[in-house]
Structure 1
Amino acid sequence: MQPKPRTAYLAGYPAELTAQVDALIAAGKMGALLRKKYPQAHTVRTDKALYDYVQAMKSDYLRNAAPLSRVAYDGKLQELRNALGTHARISRVQGGRLKAKREIRVATVFRDMPEDFLRMIVVHELAHLKEPDHDKAFYQLCCHMEPNYHQLEFDLRVYLSHLEAGGDPLWGGN
């Protein structure tokens, strides 16, 4: 039986890999490694800037997908839903018509992270516009939009593990 990683963020990864991450976190070296690989935070700070950022990616890769009515940072997302991003389809009856809206919410923890991490979570949520489940087609679409998707997801999980273990935020106020 595999030893349980110290953090839920790394569940599902091989024990050898999680042991290396745990050792680097315990030695206080993980922050420096991540900071070297991702030296600075992005400049997408407002909800409007995030909306524009997401729309640009959507127009590059998912032109025919349903339009987004809202994209915003959500301060309660990580605590309430234990999620880093969400996508929602909201349907309302107006008169005799059914109106559907789609929105994406990104945890505010991404406001002070490198652009690579923001791009990874946006790619993830945009992929849900076409593929609702986390299946092979979903991850193929993620990799189409961001070829380095899996490495970015792992690095983000490592950073979140670093924070969970009491490490200092590397790019801002998180």
Structure 2
Amino acid sequence: MNELKYLAAYPAQLQEQVRQLIARQRLGEYLHQRYPDRHPIQSDRALYGYVTELKQQYLKSAPNIDKVLFDNRLDLTHRALGLHTAISRVQGGKLKAKKEIRVAALFKEAAPEFLRMIVVHELAHLREAEHNKAFYQLCCHMLPDYHQLEFDLRVYLTWRDLETR
């Protein structure tokens, strides 16, 4: 039986459906049918604009974001597809916190829906630090099909692992 490490928390029935697609070698085809497009955001500058636009639309009163970039060092071995950080520095007599969002470089090649899901996830951390009920409600406010996209992203990561073996 195939180990589905990205889908371990999901019901056995869903895992079995994914295993069947893998067994029939149709997982890639399934994903391509569901998510045929690739987004045009390839630079850090374009990503910053994309993130800022979403923040303005849904989180106007949240702190400004100082830096957004694709990070080649973020990957599944670090168990992170995106990071939000606040770096504190003393400037004059004040303590300034610079907010950063880093998105794993693998999302340069992903479907636009997956990029949006990761960005929404990281933006939600501007308001909610923990993965609690309020956090997921905020994610769903910004992206109503957030949970489906999170599941499909995990299926995509499973497929990527199979392709690299």
Normalised by the size of structure 2, how large is the TM-score?
Answer: 0.95
1:48 alignment counterpart: 45
Question: Aligned AA for 2:16?
Answer: A
* CA displacement, residues 148-168 of structure 1 (integer Å, 9 cap, x when unaligned): 100011001001001112269
Equivalent pair of 2:86/2:97 in contact (CA under 8 Å): yes
Q: Which residue of 1 aligns with 2:127?
A: 130
SS at match of 2:103: strand
Structure-to-structure mapping, 1:1-174, within 5 angstroms: 6-79=3-76, 81-166=78-163
Q: Deviations over 1:105-153 (max 9, x none)?
A: 0001100111101000000000000000000000000000000100011
List gaps (5 residues or longer) in structure 1: 169-174
1: CA distance, partners of 2:161 / 2:13: 20
Q: Distance in 2 between matches of 1:63 and 1:145?
A: 12
Alpha carbons of structure 1 residues 11 and 79: separation in structure 2 relative to 1, 3 Å: closer
Judge conservation of contact 2:51–2:119 (CA < 8 Å) in 1. yes
Q: Spell out structure 1 runs of 4+ moving beyond 6 A.
A: none
C-alpha distance in 1 between matches for 2:77 and 2:14: 29
Paired with 1:79 and 1:118, the residues of 2 have a C-alpha distance of 15
Q: How does the TM-score come out when normalised to structure 1?
A: 0.90
Is the Cα contact below 8 Å between 1:50 and 1:71 reproduced in 2?
yes
- Between the two structures, name the one with larger relative contact order (CA 8 Å, sep ≥ 6): 1
Query: In structure 2, what is the Cα distance between the partners aligned to 1:63 and 1:128?
Result: 14
- Extract unaligned runs of 5+ from structure 2: none
Deviations 1:30-73 (A, max 9, x none): 11111011111000010000000000000000000000000000
**Identical pairs, percent:** 54
CA–CA distance in structure 2, aligned partners of residues 84 and 55 of structure 1:
19
**Which deviates more, 145-154 or 72-81?**
72-81
Note the alpha carbon deviations across 1:84-124, whole angstroms, 9 max, x for none: 00000110112311011000000011001111010000000
Give the Cα–Cα distance (whole angstroms) in 1 for the partners of residues 143 and 117 of structure 2. Answer: 7
CA RMSD of aligned residues (A): 1.6
